């Protein structure tokens, strides 16, 4: 492993990332992607590991309490300096928080206490249909509607679309840089997540999460 990364070689070695995540398979297998990432320099490698660790944590099925999420969020924010990585984490956490709030309100529970910039805003606007966040997050009304109609796959699609669009927009600003690689990984993760989903397991997961929430007295973030 070298100390610096040759971004031109690494970026050019990665297959084209489709403009939309709704495809049949990932553009590059996980094994091959890991092989390509061996071209990373030491410093970049550690940042990429942080991002991959977070994305892995983010996609795990949750039995976490608000305190667990807050602890993980604080740990990440204390250990990560890269602005784009912080942005990736903050964006995902915001989506988790808003989605969690929608689910809790539907179950007549209290607003979430973790995590990120919208916690107090949601508490203040708890009765508003979109928590007065629809201008920044246009997906909220659609997700709310899909939640009401028990459409877990549509909920997942909306949430992934919101994240995907943000990464695509950001990726257009970078060409042969570390940010290009981070955004490639973030989008790869979404494609991988989507290609592993189908309607039946999605519904089972939704039902399981709902049951967990009810059993744990609404302490799930």
Partner 1 sequence: METFVILSLGWAGIFLPTALGAIGSIVGCARAGQAASGALLDVEGGYGRLVGASALPSSQTIYGIVVTMQLNRVVTIEASPGLFAVGLLVGLALIFSAILQGSCCASAINTTKSKPEVFGLAIAPAAIVEGFAVFAFIFAMIVGGGIPGGPAN
Q: Which long-range contacts (CB under 8 A, 24 or more apart) does 142-147 make?
A: 143/99, 143/102, 144/102, 147/102, 147/103, 147/106
CB nearer to partner 1: give 39 or 147: 39
Enumerate residues 160-219 that contact partner 1 by CB under 8 A. 175-176
- CB-CB contact of 203 with 31 (8 Å): no
Name 220's bridge partners: 65
- CB-CB contact of 137 with 162 (8 Å): yes
Q: Rounded to the nearest whole angstrom, what is the least distance from the CB of residue 187 to partner 1 in the complex?
A: 15
Q: Rounded to the nearest whole angstrom, what is the least distance from the CB of residue 164 to partner 1 in the complex?
A: 19
* Contact window for partner 1 (CB under 8 A) among 12-20, 57-65, 149-157, 212-220: 12-20
Site size toward partner 1 (CB under 8 A) is 13
Enumerate residues 58-117 that contact partner 1 by CB under 8 A. none
Q: Which of 1, 2, 4, 9 binds partner 1 (CB under 8 A)?
A: 9
* Contact window for partner 1 (CB under 8 A) among 7-15, 46-54, 64-72, 125-133: 7-15
Q: Rounded to the nearest whole angstrom, what is the least distance from the CB of residue 35 to partner 1 in the complex?
A: 9
Task: Tell me if 12 contacts partner 1 by CB under 8 A.
Answer: yes
- CB-CB contact of 111 with 101 (8 Å): yes
- CB-CB contact of 58 with 92 (8 Å): yes
Query: How far apart are alpha carbons 19 and 25 in whole angstroms?
Result: 13
| Contact residues: partner 1, CB under 8 A | 6, 8-16, 36, 175-176
């Amino acid at each position: 492993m070298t100390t610096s990364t040759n971004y031109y070689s690494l970026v050019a070695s990665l297959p084209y990332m489709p403009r939309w995540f709704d495809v049949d398979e990932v553009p590059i297998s996980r094994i091959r992607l890991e092989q390509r990432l061996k071209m990373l320099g030491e410093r970049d490698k550690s940042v990429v590991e942080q991002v991959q660790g977070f994305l892995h944590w983010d996609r795990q099925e949750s039995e976490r309490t608000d305190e667990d999420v807050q602890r993980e969020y604080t740990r990440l924010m204390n250990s990560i300096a890269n602005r784009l990585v912080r942005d990736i984490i903050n964006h995902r956490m915001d989506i988790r928080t808003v989605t969690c709030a929608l689910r809790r309100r539907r179950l007549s529970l209290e607003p979430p206490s973790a995590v990120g910039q919208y916690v107090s805003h949601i508490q203040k606007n708890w009765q508003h249909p979109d928590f007065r966040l629809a201008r920044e997050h246009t997906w909220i009304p659609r997700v709310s509607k899909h939640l009401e109609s028990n459409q877990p796959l549509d909920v997942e699609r909306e949430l992934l679309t919101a994240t995907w669009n943000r990464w695509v927009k950001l990726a257009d600003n970078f060409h042969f840089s570390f940010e290009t690689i981070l955004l490639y990984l973030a989008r790869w993760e979404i494609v991988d997540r989507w290609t592993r989903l189908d309607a039946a397991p999605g519904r089972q997961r939704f039902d399981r999460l709902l049951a967990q929430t009810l059993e744990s007295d609404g302490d799930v973030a």
